[in-house]
Amino acid sequence: MENTSLLKEPKTRKLLLSAGLSWLFDAMDVGMVSFIVAALAVEWQLGAQQIGLLSAVNSVGMAVGAACAGILADKYGRRSVLVWTLLIFSLASGLSALATGFVMLCLLRFVTGFGLGGELPVASTLVSESVPVSVRGKAVVLLESFWAGGWIISALISYYVIPHYGWRTAFVIGALPALYAIYLRRAIDDSPRFKQGSSKRLGLLERIAAVWQSDNRRATLMLWILWFTVVFSYYGMFLWLPTIMVKQGFSLVKSFEYVLIMTLAQLPGYFTAAYLIERFGRKFVLVCYLMLTAVSALWFGTAQSTGMLLAAGISLSFFNLGAWGGMYAYTPELYKSDIRSTGVGLAAAFGRIGGVIGPYLVGALVADGVSIRAIFTLFFITVLIGAVAVLVLGKETRGIDPDLSEARRAG
């Protein structure tokens, strides 16, 4: 009951809602692109490799954005960087509606990705540092749950808007968060931990080096493996879902409908992870949800009927997004506040390399005629590697404050 009451405090609710909406807008943009490429494949006659390249370019931007924003947030503050990244991605998303060709769209998607990739790790660090330790994991997972809301909105926009008004209208809708960024600048404060550390901030090279120093090396290695495997599998699978459904014989509209149903399963995935993460710990949630994600991927790849395909997709959404919530909650807890945003940003940036490779690799495999079963078997193996890394290299962080632990060791 203590955890629940703490999350009902007005200040905590306002922070979660404010940061959560920015997270929702990010997800809305990423989700819309997965549906837009299915429409572009028809209108611009794009091949499988071009579809994969478009998704990969977005992820390259996210990798660069995550690293830059994470580093800058430890110097200039979480709130300022959050607002600027939100502005960058929303304006670039709106400009994507004006794209006249494939190359121009790729350039705009890189800039959009830069803002997207920068916003996510900074928002999770801000929330993690601004709530009590007893609800820290739960709060960050609930923040992540806004991602499912964004995907649901993107699926609704894609179902009702794209078939009738075209993909450019969907990109115009993606520019609306720019207005929200103006409100966000006044609505939230920077984290108390960032303000307290203003007099002892490390330099840029010192922060990057500290992430790989002996006391952080094991955690950093584990996080980089975890982020790579999760992002590789997520973007490789979910950005291709509408296109895969079309290739399975469903119409474009029907594939949007099925993916919307699968997307709805993300919400209970987040909520169960939020409940379990404070009850049984971060490692338990991550290992269990990752292993069940791997099994769901194998199931999806071997599904033979519409019912099985839907059931496997629902299971995949449930466990994969629950694991994402656990990962975002876990990552900031492994670093002290003076390098926290840098550590989170660099881990996320390395993970985004997986987001580059995953969609492009699927595009190349589909173009070469590789079966859906073989492709999803690859994801099964990849996700299992992430689960093993957490199990072997990870340490439990529930209820532990890295800054206080360091102070105790020093004392």
Q: What is the pLDDT of residues 221-238, one digit of tens each?
A: 999 999 999 999 988 887
Q: Which residues, at least 6 apart from 14, have a Cβ–Cβ distance to it below 8 Å?
A: 187, 188
| Interval 175-229: pLDDT, tens | 888 888 777 777 788 877 777 765 466 777 888 899 999 889 999 999 999 999 9
Q: Which amino acid is at 37?
A: V
Averaged pLDDT, 79-97: 91
**pLDDT grade for 106, boundaries at 50, 70 and 90:** very high
* Residue 71 within a domain: yes
User: What string of DSSP letters covers 198-259?
Assistant: TTSPPPHHHHHHHHTSHHHHHHHHHHHHHHHHHHHHHHHHHTTHHHHHHHTT--HHHHHHHH
The predicted pLDDT at position 30 comes to 81
Per the confidence metrics, is the pTM higher than 0.85? Answer: no
* Residue 408 within a domain: no
pLDDT greater than 80 at residue 71? yes
Residue 277 lies in domain: 10-183+211-402
The predicted pLDDT at position 153 comes to 87
Averaged pLDDT, 38-44: 81
Torsion, CA 353, CA 313, CA 320, CA 176, rounded to 10: 70
* Residue 410 within a domain: no
User: What's the chain's average pLDDT?
Assistant: 84
* Residue 191 within a domain: no
Q: What is the CATH number of the domain that holds 74?
A: 1.20.1250.20
Place of tokens 């611009």: 44
pLDDT greater than 90 at residue 151? no
* Residue 407 within a domain: no
Q: Which of 2-16, 288-302, 313-327 is least confident?
A: 2-16
* Residue 409 within a domain: no
Q: Which tokens hold the place of 312?
A: 């496997």
Q: Which of 28-37, 70-79, 387-396 is least confident?
A: 28-37
* Residue 333 within a domain: yes
* Residue 193 within a domain: no
Q: How many domains does the chain have?
A: 1
| Top-confidence residue, 42 or 314 | 314
| Interval 266-293: pLDDT, tens | 889 888 998 899 899 999 999 999 999 9
